[in-house]
Amino acid sequence: MKILLVSVNASYMHTNIAVRDLKNYADRYFENKIEKPQITFAEYTINQPLSEVLREIAFSEADWVLISTYIWNAEYVSKLLPEIKKVLPGCVLGAGGPEYSYGAEKYLSAISALDFIVSGEGELTFVDMIEKSEFDSSGILSKLKEIKGIYYRNSNGHIEYTGSRELIKNLDEIPFPYPEILKGEADPDHKIYYYESSRGCPFGCSYCLSSIDKRVRFKSLERTCNELQLFLDNNIKLVKFVDRTYNLDEERYIGIWDYILEHHNGKTMFHFEIEAEYLSKKALDFLQKVPEGVMQFEMGVQSANKKTLKAINRSTNTEGLAEKIKLIPRTIHQHLDLIAGLPYEDLESFGHSYDFVMELRPDALQLGFLKVLNGTTMEKYARENGWKWMDSPVYETFSTPYLTFKDMAFLKDMEIITDSFWNKGNFLHLMNYVFRKMSPWNFFCRLLDYGRSIKAFAQARKDSYWFQLIHDFINSQADFLSSCGLNLILMNDLLRYDFIKTGKKGNFPSWYKHNYDRARHRQLLEEDIQLKDARMGFAVTEYEEFDYDVRTERPEENQGHTEFIVKYDIVN
Look at residue 365 and tell me if it is in a domain. yes
Give residue 532's pLDDT.
66
86-to-37, 136, 185, 288, 354 alpha-carbon distances in Å: 24, 21, 35, 58, 50
Q: Where among 393, 426, 454 does a domain terminate?
A: 393
Task: CATH number of the domain at 69, please.
Answer: 3.40.50.2300
523 is a domain residue: no
User: Are 255 and 139 within one domain?
Assistant: no
Sequence length of the chain is 572
Mean pLDDT, residues 124-137 taken together:
85
pLDDT of residue 571: 45
pLDDT of 491 higher than 60? yes
Is 99 in contact with 69 (CB distance < 8 Å)?
Answer: yes
Averaged confidence pLDDT in the chain: 95
- pLDDT exceeds cutoff 60 at 50: yes
Cis ω for the linkage preceding 53 (within 30 of 0): no
Are 380 and 333 part of one and the same domain? Answer: yes
**Cα 414 from Cα 255, distance rounded (Å):** 39
Residue 570 predicted with pLDDT over 80 = no
pLDDT of residue 527: 84
298 and 344 belong to one structural domain: yes
Give the model confidence (pLDDT) of 387-436 as tens digits: 999 999 999 999 999 999 999 999 999 999 999 999 999 999 999 999 99
Residue 366, pLDDT > 70, answer yes
- Whether residues 241 and 203 share a domain: the answer is yes
321 and 279 Cβ atoms separated by less than 8 Å: no
Q: What pLDDT, on a 0 to 100 scale, did the predictor assign at position 414?
A: 98
Q: How far apart are CA 259 and CA 182, in angstroms?
A: 20
pTM of this structure: 0.94
* Residue 289 included in any domain: yes
User: Is residue 209 a part of any domain in this protein?
Assistant: yes
pLDDT value of residue 215: 85
CA angle, 260 then 266 then 269, to 5°: 60
Res 189: pLDDT? 95
336 and 188 in a common domain: yes
Mean pLDDT to the nearest integer, 265-281: 97
Q: Is the model's pLDDT at 372 over the cut of 60? A: yes
Task: Answer whether 246's CB lies under 8 Å from 199's CB.
Answer: no
Buried b (16+ CB within 10 A) or exposed e, 504-520: eeeeeeebbeeeeeeee
Residues 276 and 179 in one domain: yes
**Is residue 54 a part of any domain in this protein?**
yes
pLDDT at position 136 is: 63
Task: State pLDDT tens for residues 156-166.
Answer: 999 999 999 99
Question: Domain range spanning residue 44?
Answer: 2-161
Q: Map residue 328 onto helix, strand or coil.
A: coil
Asked if residue 532 belongs to a domain, the reply is no
- Cβ(19)–Cβ(64) below 8 Å: no
Say if residue 572's pLDDT is above 80.
no
* Domain identity same for 205 and 117: no
Domain final position from 347, 365, 393: 393
CB distance 118 to 126 below 8 Å = yes
Average pLDDT for 518-537: 82
Mean pLDDT on 508-526: 92
pLDDT at 134 over 80: no
Distance CA(238)–CA(188), nearest Å, equals: 8
Last residue of a domain, one of 363, 393, 423: 393
Both 221 and 336 in a single domain? yes
Verify that 221 and 354 share a domain, yes or no.
yes
Shared domain check, 69 and 123: yes
Residue 462 in domain: no
CATH of the domain at 337: 3.80.30.20
DSSP bridge pairs for 556: none
- Cis bond leading into 372, ω under 30°? no
Answer positive or negative: Cα dihedral of 502, 505, 510, 515.
Answer: positive
**Total domain count, the chain:** 2
What's the pLDDT at 326?
98
* 415 found inside a domain: no
Regarding whether 194 and 102 lie in a shared domain, the answer is no
Comparing 24 with 458, which gets the higher pLDDT? 24
Q: Are residues 188 and 136 in the same domain?
A: no
Residue 301 · residue 350 · CB < 8 Å: no
**Rounded Cα–Cα distance for residues 557 and 487 (Å):** 11
Instruction: Select the more confidently predicted residue: 529 or 240.
Output: 240
Residue 547 has pLDDT above 80, yes or no: yes
Query: Which residues are paired to 92 by β-bridges?
Result: 64
